[in-house]
Structure 1
Amino acid sequence: MSLFNVYPLFDITPVKAEDVYVFDENNTKYLDLYGGHAVISIGHSHPKYVKHISEQVSKLGFYSNSIQNPLQVDLATKLGKLSGCKEYQLFLCNSGAEANENGLKLASFHNGKKKVIAFKNGFHGRTSAAVAATDNAKIVAPINAQQEVEILELGDLVALEKSLAKNDVCAVIIEFIQGVGGLDESTAEFYEAINTLCKKYNTCFIADEVQSGFGRTGDFFAFQKYNVTPDIISIAKGMGNGFPIGGILIHPDIKASFGLLGTTFGGNHLACVASSTVLEVIEEEKLMQNATKISAYFIEKAKEISEIKNIKGRGLMLGLEFDFPIAELRKKLIFNQKIFTGSAKNPNLLRILPPLTIKKEHVDALFDAIKSELS
């Protein structure tokens, strides 16, 4: 049997990793400044992470959600404390797409409406309603396109209120910093107006924090820079440091009932231990503070390179925008300089999503490599 060929692959085969470094089968060392799409939050193979997961799998790796699981309660308690969202409720699933699916479904249950508003260049997943709310027609199949979704220009408040006034929108979903779309952000006025308008028109406000959450921006969540209170917050990626886990934080105004949502694997024992350990390490090693500190240093270093026309993002969710397509530069960084970086829908944007444990010396290595390849 062969693999279904949907991924264009670089000819690199990682076999082990440690902190910000990945090693291939020839023991070639690569600096990982992409973290597997912002998944690696506390560094590869963190000793505490390895220890806790190993201990848990030796006792109990999985049982269904039909029994008591104190690890879920422990995770919810830690997450509420560190995120500052203690009043929210937690539903656990397995991925970012699932998180957004459950968020959209819950919104529709809550207010009885079915239309969704999303924004240009947004990305929310590859399944059902999540992909319909994603601004990429190439990955929306006809079965997805039957969902009622309106995609608006980021920042267009007039169009937003006009659509909400029809009173058929169950949810407005937005990334406060766009990931795949290219690190675009709108204004405080826009985000705070969404918050107000959603309350006015009985619409759920969903903050997609799948990529930006768990300290990546320097705040625990990207939305916390603004005066907003989302009804639902979707999380995944950095939540498990590589172990598949996702979830939604649900405002207490939204009430639960048996059978409303459900999952087989979501919130399993290993996933809970993985995410609880991530939270412990983020707090103990002050990784949100590190994200802020290294981000400031990164921005100053980027200003030294004239070919960089714009620096986008916040914390360690960053983009370097050039006035030329970066595909070739990215290949040179991988194969010549042994540095992993990422791309985006914007062809001129080099995306930087390193582990939150990154140090200044790693930033120096990146910019030395870029200078070398551009000279």
Structure 2
Amino acid sequence: MSLFPVYPLYDITPVKAKDVFVYDDKNVEYLDLYGGHAVISIGHAHPTYVDRLTRQLKEIAFYSNAIQNPLQEQLAAELADFSGCKDYQLFLCNSGAEANENALKLASFHNEKSKIIAFKNGFHGRTSAAVAATDNPKIVAPLNAQQDVEFFELGDLEGVEQALKNNDVCAVIIEFIQGVGGLDESTTAFYQGLEKLCKTYNACFIADEVQSGFGRTGDFFAFQKHNITPDIISMAKGMGNGFPIGGILIHPDIKGRFGLLGTTFGGNHLACAASIAVLDVLKAEDLLAHTKEISAYFLEKASQLPQLKSIKGRGLMLGLEFDFPISDLRKNLIFDHHIFTGSAKNPNLLRILPPLTIQKEHLDIFFEALKTELA
């Protein structure tokens, strides 16, 4: 049996990894500045993480959500304490797409409306409503296109308000820093304006923190810079450091009932153990403060590149924009310098999403390689 060919693959076969390095089957060491799409938050094979999952695997790995699972309660309590979202409720699932799918579904249940407002260059997943709210027609099947979604430019409050006046919008969903779209973000005034409009017209305000959450930006969530209170917060990638887990945080104004949402694997024992380990390491190693410190160093080094058009993003969710396509540059970084980086919808943008444990000396390696390639 062959694999269904949906991924263009580099000819590299990782077999092990440690902290910010990945090793292939020829024992070549690669510096990981991409973290597998921002998934690796506390470094590959962190000893706390490995120990926590190993102990849990020896006890119980999975049982259904029909029984008590104290690990879910522990994760909810630690998440509330660390994130500052103390009054929210937690629903656990398996991925970012599933988190956004449940967020949109819950919004529609809550206000009994069906239209979605999303933003150009946004990415929210590949499932039914999540992919319809993603600004990429190439991955939206006719089945998905039946969803009623209207896209606006970042910053277009007037357009959003005109759409909300029809009183048919269940949710406004937004990445506070766009990931796949190219690290664009808007202003505090815009985000606060969206929050106000959602309240005025009874639409749920969904903060998509799938990529930007769990300390990636130096704040626990990217929206927290703007002093707002979303109705629903979706999260996933860095939440499990590689173990599949996602979730939504739900404002107490939204009421639950039995059967409203459900999942087989979401919130299983191993997944909870993984996320608890991530939170423990984020706190013990003060990785949010470290992220801000390393980000400042990155910005200082990047500003010295004469070919650079702009630097985008915050924390360790960063993009280097050039005035040329970066596809060849990215290949050269992988094969000649053994450094993983990422791409974006913007063909001129090199995405940098390393483990939050990265150190200055690792960035020095990257910038030396970059200077060599740009010379």
Short-chain TM bin: over 0.9
* Number of equivalent positions: 375
Question: How much has 1:247 moved relative to structure 2?
Answer: 0.2
Match of 2:138 in 1: 138
Say which SS state the counterpart of residue 309 (structure 2) adopts. Answer: strand
Match of 1:275 in 2: 275
Say which SS state the counterpart of residue 50 (structure 1) adopts. Answer: helix
Letter in 1 for 2:143: I
Question: How much has 1:47 moved relative to structure 2?
Answer: 0.3
Letter in 2 for 1:297: Y
* CA distances 1:156-192 after superposition (whole Å, capped 9, x unpaired): 0110000001100000000000000000001111100
In structure 1, runs of 5+ residues without a counterpart are none
* CA distances 1:261-298 after superposition (whole Å, capped 9, x unpaired): 00000000000000000000000000000110000000
Question: How much has 1:227 moved relative to structure 2?
Answer: 2.1
Match of 1:207 in 2: 207
Letter in 2 for 1:371: K
Work out the CA distance in 2 between the residues paired with 1:118 and 1:202: 16
Work out the CA distance in 1 between the residues paired with 2:84 and 2:64: 29
Pairing of 1:254-333 with structure 2 (within 5 A): 254-333=254-333
Structure 1 runs (4+) deviating above 6 angstroms are: none
Work out the CA distance in 2 between the residues paired with 1:252 and 1:83: 16
Work out the CA distance in 1 between the residues paired with 2:139 and 2:155: 24
Work out the CA distance in 1 between the residues paired with 2:347 and 2:57: 42
Residues 1:79 and 2:79 are matched in the alignment:
yes
Letter in 1 for 2:232: I
Q: Percent identity?
A: 74
Question: How much has 1:309 moved relative to structure 2?
Answer: 1.0
Say which SS state the counterpart of residue 370 (structure 1) adopts. Answer: helix
Letter in 2 for 1:6: V
Work out the CA distance in 1 between the residues paired with 2:370 and 2:309: 14
Match of 1:243 in 2: 243
* CA distances 1:204-243 after superposition (whole Å, capped 9, x unpaired): 0000000000000000000000021100000000000000
* CA distances 1:55-98 after superposition (whole Å, capped 9, x unpaired): 11111010000000000000000000000001000000000000
Residues 1:119 and 2:113 are matched in the alignment:
no
Say which SS state the counterpart of residue 205 (structure 1) adopts. Answer: strand
Residues 1:192 and 2:188 are matched in the alignment:
no
The TM-score with structure 2 as length reference comes to 1.00
Work out the CA distance in 1 between the residues paired with 2:127 and 2:263: 15
* CA distances 1:105-136 after superposition (whole Å, capped 9, x unpaired): 00000000000000000000000000000000
Question: How much has 1:373 moved relative to structure 2?
Answer: 1.0
Letter in 2 for 1:155: G
Letter in 2 for 1:80: A
Say which SS state the counterpart of residue 51 (structure 1) adopts. Answer: helix
Work out the CA distance in 2 between the residues paired with 1:112 and 1:303: 49
Say which SS state the counterpart of residue 176 (structure 1) adopts. Answer: coil
Question: How much has 1:344 moved relative to structure 2?
Answer: 0.1
Work out the CA distance in 2 between the residues paired with 1:26 and 1:153: 46
Work out the CA distance in 1 between the residues paired with 2:299 and 2:346: 20
* CA distances 1:283-320 after superposition (whole Å, capped 9, x unpaired): 00000001100000000000111111100000000000
Residues 1:165 and 2:165 are matched in the alignment:
yes
Work out the CA distance in 2 between the residues paired with 1:366 and 1:93: 35
Work out the CA distance in 1 between the residues paired with 2:187 and 2:50: 40
Say which SS state the counterpart of residue 3 (structure 1) adopts. Answer: coil
Work out the CA distance in 2 between the residues paired with 1:27 and 1:304: 33
Say which SS state the counterpart of residue 117 (structure 1) adopts. Answer: strand
Match of 1:178 in 2: 178
Work out the CA distance in 2 between the residues paired with 1:225 and 1:353: 19
Say which SS state the counterpart of residue 142 (structure 1) adopts. Answer: coil
Letter in 1 for 2:243: F
* CA distances 1:188-209 after superposition (whole Å, capped 9, x unpaired): 1110000000000000000000
Work out the CA distance in 2 between the residues paired with 1:26 and 1:218: 35
Match of 2:52 in 1: 52
Match of 1:367 in 2: 367
Say which SS state the counterpart of residue 328 (structure 1) adopts. Answer: helix
Work out the CA distance in 1 between the residues paired with 2:112 and 2:303: 50
Work out the CA distance in 2 between the residues paired with 1:101 and 1:203: 16
Question: How much has 1:29 moved relative to structure 2?
Answer: 0.2
Say which SS state the counterpart of residue 78 (structure 1) adopts. Answer: helix
Match of 1:129 in 2: 129
